[in-house]
Structure 1
Amino acid sequence: MNDRTRRGERREPSFERGRDESRDDFDMRLSDDDRPGRGNRAPARYDERREAPRRDKRSGGGNGGGGRRRKRKGRSLLGGLFYWTMVLGLWCAIGLGGLIAYHAAQLPPINQLTVPKRPPNIAILAADGTLLANRGETGGRTITIGEVPPYLPKAFVAIEDRRFYEHFGIDPIGLARAMVNNLRRSGGVQGGSTLTQQLAKNLFLTQERTAARKIQEAILALWLERTYSKNQILELYLNRVYFGSGAYGVEAAAQRYFNKSARSVTIAEAAMLAGLVQAPSRLAPNRNPDAAEKRAQLVIAAMADQGLISQAAAKTALVAPAEAAERSGAGSVNYAADYVMDVLDDFIGAVEGDVTVLTTIDTKLQASAETTLVEALAAQGGKLSVSQGAVVSMAPDGALRALIGGRDYTKSQFNRATAAKRQPGSSFKPFVYLTALEQGLTPDTIRDDSPVSIKGWEPENYSRSYRGPVTLQTAFAHSLNTIAARLIQEVTPKEVVRTAQRLGISSSLQPNFSLALGTSEVTPVELTTAYATFANGGQSVLPYVIREVKSAAGKVIYARKGSGFGAVVQPQTLSMMNTMFHEVMISGSGTKANIPGWEVGGKSGTTQDFRDAWFVGFTARLVTAVWLGNDDNSQMKRVAGGGLPAEIWGKYMKAAHAGLQPAPLPGGLWRSGPKSIFDNGAPVAAARPPANTQTADSERSWVPPAPQEKNLLQKLFGG
């Protein structure tokens, strides 16, 4: 069969489809192999394309060939666009993958990633278990979701990440919604970050706003979602997010702004806390309450819209919005908290996890001492040129009940109660008198109040007058400097130093004669500790503020079992000392501070040029020291220990003893008996009433010695 015959056979099927088709249409339907005279496929297509325009020209641009060419050209344009879009998308995907891989390489290997350990928190509690302060980088302890009301975590989900339980760490829908809202400028600028992304940023990254940080944030969010459950992620978030004012975590924030635990917050308070994380500084309720309330209203509305709280609960929360609480005693309790932190390491070493420290601080006494000191300085500090003060109050066993280290903690964190070393003045004299009594003298021993010179040192009395021969009890009550100088000369300065150290003075003391007038510096807490010995029956004590330390799991890490060195003052000597202390309150510089119905002992102290003024006193229940002065050691305007310090002491101690059953001083008051005019074998001037007596109290304090029956030797030889 020839070629024409073959072509004719192949032509029959196309005529069956339709005889009106043109030859061009027919030829285009032929396969490459069927075209006449063509041995391969490619040339056939090339010839067909080349021949087609020629036929078009011959046909004068007929409707058949030209329309088909334009249609094919349109399809090629769309195909090209699709092709290059695919290519561009592929390269973008490769580039994005490379970028992600690069930034992922900057992170630790995934198999080595761990959630950083939260810095430990030290919760410092008062003696009654109420929170005084938190210490540590976070400002509050870790809390679990099971401890807080269910609406608290829901508030964060509602306002920060409504699809939290649906997404995989990154929320494309939420991101798109945020972009649309940002373009519309509705509801403020939104970031689209999920709670998981925010947690990743807080745990691992800085706060910088860069594309690199966002990529790493997304990678870490995916890792968190793969590693932890949703509730675990939410719990981590609640304990790590920053709420401003040094508060990290919802517990710290609740304590900081509402003075309560996160376990007790209301719906309105929970909403305010949830709204706060967007801008902690701008929305802090104690700084900008209006903005904080408006943000909280948005949170409440979101919770109600999402069915997380009922409409009735939302209405109640809107009607009674949350308010930041006043932080009562917030200034002074920080002095006590600082002291706790100073000594905590000595008991438990390095703190590895959250701990709770139960202290001896009485919140009522702490607040009363602070109020009394601050009000007195506000009323009289300006005219008397006194700017600072300190109050230390402790139980006779050494337990600190109140500790005020300054006038205002927010302006000065220096703890004058524990760290300021100041001259105690005459409040140091009890150690001189105690040493003298232990060497055989008694309160009725007579010494001459007259000018004295000891190796060029010539101390004078505060009044610059002299009384002549007086008993030690009178000299102590009226703080006569000449008598104290004579006594230290008799007993030696070294013995006085030993006595003071035995009773709890740990500061370095210079063993010179002027020590009798308190020229060596001590701290208020040291002096209070030493006076506690007279209030507890002669027992040595160590000051303490920590009763117990527990771990977050409730395990007792430390519990105080008692401390001290036993008896350091004999009962008879203690009785004589307390009698002289009591006389100060009856006839001496403590008359303004006496507590009716109580046996009270005390001693004032005033240093040279009125740079320091003290009053230290005690009952059987409480020992308290008050110091006034200026940090730059400048002079006050004649502020003596028996003046403003005694007034502060008396006001505070009267309030502290209100409602308590009066108790006598330990050991009883010493009763004087017949005495000789000879002491330790050395004759003194004949006994007579003290000179320059101005009050009946002073006259009563002097007891003349009664005549004694002569023994046989005296009768025979005289004497």
Structure 2
Amino acid sequence: MARRPATPLEATRTNRPGPGPARKASRRRPSRGGGRLWRFVVSVFLLIGLGMAGWLVSIARDLPDTSGLIEVERAPSLAFYDHEGRLIARRGSAHGRLAVIEELPDYVTDAVMAVEDRRFYSHFGVDLIGTARALLANIRAGRVVQGGSTLTQQLAKNLFLTSERTVRRKVQEVMLAFWLESRFTKDEILELYLNRVYFGGGAWGIEAAATRYFGKTASELNLGEAALLAGLLKAPSRYSPVNDAQRAAARATVVLDLMAQTGRITEQERIAAAATPIRVSRGASSPGAQYFIDWVAQDARALVGSHHGDLIVRTTLDVHAQRAAELAVSGIMDDPDLALGAGEAALVALAHDGSVRAMVGGRNYTTSQFNRAVLAHRQPGSAFKAFVYASAFEAGLTPDDIRDDAQIRLGDWSPQNYNDEYRGPMSLREAFSRSSNSVAVRIAEETGRGHVARLAARFGIESPQRVDRSLALGVHEVTPLEMASAYAPFANGGYRAPAYGIASIETRDGEVLYAARPADGEVVMDARTLGQMSDLLQTVVRSGTGRRAAVAGMIVGGKTGTTNDFRDAWFAGYAGDLVAVVWTGNDDNSQTRRATGGGPPARIFSAFMSGAPRSGLDAHPSSMPLQVAEPLTEAQPVAEPVPAEDPIAAFLAGLGRD
């Protein structure tokens, strides 16, 4: 029987596989790779965690001892006073008494928190908001422009850590901040901070700073003074009112603005404080006096030893004369038309007994601490001729003796006058006032170079002076300090007057450990020579090269000096009861714009003497008893002999331009 064709549907069904042997259900096994990765990641994180924990434990073990937190470890300090008992400066760790926060006006602590830690009372030792803000600012700037440390962190660093910038130190800082927050109240932390933080000028703590800058206790500070002290914390030297009063005032204004913005003071209080002048204590307001302090500080401990604790050093400085000196230097040197290319200056002023009344070692102490008044050895030029003429008068010459101002030749050496001008026969008085090189060399040869060198050493020139042909022209270097000491006999009646700066040293209990001894009044110049030199020195100021050094109403005598290529310019002289020496030039010994001793130095001398305090001694000479700085247990040093002439080492003189 024939079969009919299958329909498409039936064909489809027919083509399906029929029932066969039963198959086991197919199951996919999970991949073992994912589990291994997960376990690896967990293991890595565990290892990192353990490593971090170990690292933190090692850091914690290295944390410094905190047992002496409350005690303030004080290093002995030196307090320097001027000859009238006015505070000049403090050196060493000057800590005041511990401040008690309850005794401080609210605006004192508010000023500190406004600039150092606005959220101090709300964070737990680390300010996450402040840290994030500082981090973002630093990332944007590509460098560190903000810090996120809290006041607690700063205290931890100041108390226990160094200032190194490492991750390890920062972690320790955070740990210690947490420890401080857990151990002390916020008020106690703030009090610790105020008693330990550095305010510059050797002042550690708010009490020492209030005394240092304002001569009062911290509880007596007004709002403006509190803002100024708070502003110092960012950079004590940069914002110190002693170094830059204008910058300090601007910084205090910023602090007041922040206090007003954060609601710590009212707008009216801000305006009133900003309008009130801030008066820095007079002893602290003379930055240039730090040159003098550097000079005497190195001797203070050496004179009495280091086992006496805090000391009071009574110096010979006069703060009024010091300010007059600084103003005189800045008034001339800050004017390019008057400075004539001289970038630096030094001034030393002595009383007739050699006590230093003023010392300016440079134009700006914060820029350069090199004391040019004491350490800079420069050629004095014609200012040295005072000793040449004094030796000639000792040998019997007089100011009216005539010598020929004409070219002179000594072997292969022929010194020249300024501008190569010669005036023929003239008196020694005129030759000195015109600063003739040829006449100075003639009389030095006539009276003996060795005699000139010995007289200069007798008067106070301690730097070696070679006895060669150019000695008369001042080519051998000296310091302004020794020049001032050597010129003192011309003003005080002919007595030797070694320069000194320490009058006495005592403990805080008043025990005198050192006192300058009275000098023996060594006479180094006879009355006849003194009268003749007074004639010459005063003629220089009346009608010679030193006319710009004149001071109205005062008898002034002195001598100008200018060295080869106008590198150094000097004026050395006296007026009233002060002797002063001024030097101008450049540290790199480069040429000035034809600056002579009759230019910037003479102008500075006149300005200083016009502004310095007078004691009524407007005439000279004086024969008052002298004082010299002499250790109580040491003898006076013996002057070294003057070396003999070495013709081979003869120094070719420069032009004497005065």
Name the structure 2 match of 1:310: none
Higher relative contact order (CA 8 A, sep 6+): 2
Give the Cα–Cα distance (whole angstroms) in 1 for the partners of residues 376 and 126 of structure 2.
57
Name the structure 2 match of 1:584: 540
Give the Cα–Cα distance (whole angstroms) in 2 for the partners of residues 301 and 293 of structure 1.
9
Answering whether residue 467 of structure 2 is matched by residue 511 of structure 1, we say: yes
AA matched with 1:321: A
Give the Cα–Cα distance (whole angstroms) in 2 for the partners of residues 555 and 434 of structure 1.
44
After superposition, give the CA deviation of every residue in 1:144-187 in whole Å (9 maximum; x if it has no partner).
14899932599549987xxxxxxxxxxxx97669989999x9xx
Name the structure 2 match of 1:32: none
Describe the shift of the 1:292–1:446 C-alpha distance in structure 2 as closer, same or farther (beyond 3 A): same
- Conservation of the 8 A alpha-carbon contact between 1:360 and 1:400: yes
Decide which of 536, 554, 576 is 2:492's aligned counterpart.
Answer: 536
- Conservation of the 8 A alpha-carbon contact between 2:124 and 2:178: no
Give, in angstroms, the shift of residue 639 of structure 1. Answer: 2.2
Name the structure 2 match of 1:654: 610
Please list, as runs of the form range in 1=range in 2, the aligned pairs for 1:287-366 lying within 5 A after superposition.
288-296=251-259, 301=264, 320-321=272-273, 325=278, 330-350=286-306, 353-366=309-322
- Conservation of the 8 A alpha-carbon contact between 1:268 and 1:321: yes
Give the Cα–Cα distance (whole angstroms) in 2 for the partners of residues 596 and 182 of structure 1.
62
After superposition, give the CA deviation of every residue in 1:558-587 in whole Å (9 maximum; x if it has no partner).
333345772222223222222222222333
Count of paired positions: 540
Task: Give 1 or 2 for the bigger CA radius of gyration.
Answer: 1
Name the structure 2 match of 1:426: 382
Please list, as runs of the form range in 1=range in 2, the aligned pairs for 1:398-409 lying within 5 A after superposition.
398-409=354-365
Describe the shift of the 1:455–1:619 C-alpha distance in structure 2 as closer, same or farther (beyond 3 A): same
- Conservation of the 8 A alpha-carbon contact between 1:406 and 1:415: yes
> RMSD across aligned C-alpha pairs, in angstroms?
4.7
Give, in angstroms, the shift of residue 116 of structure 1. Answer: 6.6
Decide which of 92, 115, 127 is 2:83's aligned counterpart.
Answer: 127
Please list, as runs of the form range in 1=range in 2, the aligned pairs for 1:16-415 lying within 5 A after superposition.
105-106=61-62, 115=71, 117-136=73-92, 138=93, 141-145=94-98, 150-151=103-104, 155-156=108-109, 201-206=157-162, 210=170, 212-216=172-176, 237-243=193-199, 248-251=204-207, 253-254=209-210, 259-263=214-218, 265-269=220-224, 272=227, 286=249, 288-296=251-259, 301=264, 320-321=272-273, 325=278, 330-350=286-306, 353-381=309-337, 384-415=340-371
Q: Which runs of 5+ in 2 are unaligned?
A: 1-52, 114-120, 134-145, 240-246, 624-658
- Conservation of the 8 A alpha-carbon contact between 2:577 and 2:615: no
AA matched with 1:341: A
AA matched with 1:494: G
AA matched with 2:469: F
Please list, as runs of the form range in 1=range in 2, the aligned pairs for 1:462-541 lying within 5 A after superposition.
462=418, 464-541=420-497
Give the Cα–Cα distance (whole angstroms) in 2 for the partners of residues 416 and 279 of structure 1.
31
Give, in angstroms, the shift of residue 425 of structure 1. Answer: 0.8
Please list, as runs of the form range in 1=range in 2, the aligned pairs for 1:565-604 lying within 5 A after superposition.
566-604=522-560
Describe the shift of the 1:182–1:586 C-alpha distance in structure 2 as closer, same or farther (beyond 3 A): closer
Determine helix, strand or coil for the equivalent of 1:370: helix
Give the Cα–Cα distance (whole angstroms) in 2 for the partners of residues 439 and 106 of structure 1.
77
Give, in angstroms, the shift of residue 223 of structure 1. Answer: 8.8
Give, in angstroms, the shift of residue 606 of structure 1. Answer: 1.6
Give the Cα–Cα distance (whole angstroms) in 1 for the partners of residues 311 and 568 of structure 2.
39
After superposition, give the CA deviation of every residue in 1:241-295 in whole Å (9 maximum; x if it has no partner).
1347986322454467x55444574242575378669867899964544541145
Name the structure 1 match of 2:5: none
Deviates more, 1:385-394 or 1:206-215: 206-215
Give the Cα–Cα distance (whole angstroms) in 1 for the partners of residues 536 and 412 of structure 2.
30
Give the Cα–Cα distance (whole angstroms) in 1 for the partners of residues 103 and 562 of structure 2.
60
Give the Cα–Cα distance (whole angstroms) in 2 for the partners of residues 264 and 559 of structure 1.
37
Give, in angstroms, the shift of residue 624 of structure 1. Answer: 1.2
- Conservation of the 8 A alpha-carbon contact between 2:103 and 2:219: no
Determine helix, strand or coil for the equivalent of 1:321: helix
Give, in angstroms, the shift of residue 191 of structure 1. Answer: 10
Describe the shift of the 1:649–1:239 C-alpha distance in structure 2 as closer, same or farther (beyond 3 A): same
AA matched with 2:496: S
Name the structure 2 match of 1:311: none
AA matched with 1:293: L
Name the structure 2 match of 1:632: 588
AA matched with 2:272: A
After superposition, give the CA deviation of every residue in 1:86-137 in whole Å (9 maximum; x if it has no partner).
xxxxxxxxxxx9999977754577889995733444333333444433434x
Give the Cα–Cα distance (whole angstroms) in 2 for the partners of residues 279 and 219 of structure 1.
25
- Conservation of the 8 A alpha-carbon contact between 2:99 and 2:191: no
- Conservation of the 8 A alpha-carbon contact between 1:550 and 1:556: yes
Describe the shift of the 1:598–1:241 C-alpha distance in structure 2 as closer, same or farther (beyond 3 A): closer
Describe the shift of the 1:532–1:264 C-alpha distance in structure 2 as closer, same or farther (beyond 3 A): farther
AA matched with 1:526: E
Aligned-pair identity (%):
38
- Conservation of the 8 A alpha-carbon contact between 1:372 and 1:648: yes
AA matched with 2:255: A
Describe the shift of the 1:375–1:100 C-alpha distance in structure 2 as closer, same or farther (beyond 3 A): closer
Determine helix, strand or coil for the equivalent of 1:320: helix
Q: Which runs of 5+ in 1 are unaligned?
A: 1-96, 161-172, 303-313, 668-719
TM-score (norm 1): 0.63
Describe the shift of the 1:650–1:198 C-alpha distance in structure 2 as closer, same or farther (beyond 3 A): closer
After superposition, give the CA deviation of every residue in 1:601-639 in whole Å (9 maximum; x if it has no partner).
211112122221211111351111122222222222332
Name the structure 1 match of 2:515: 559
Give the Cα–Cα distance (whole angstroms) in 1 for the partners of residues 557 and 440 of structure 2.
19
- Conservation of the 8 A alpha-carbon contact between 2:570 and 2:597: yes
Determine helix, strand or coil for the equivalent of 1:589: coil
TM-score (norm 2): 0.68
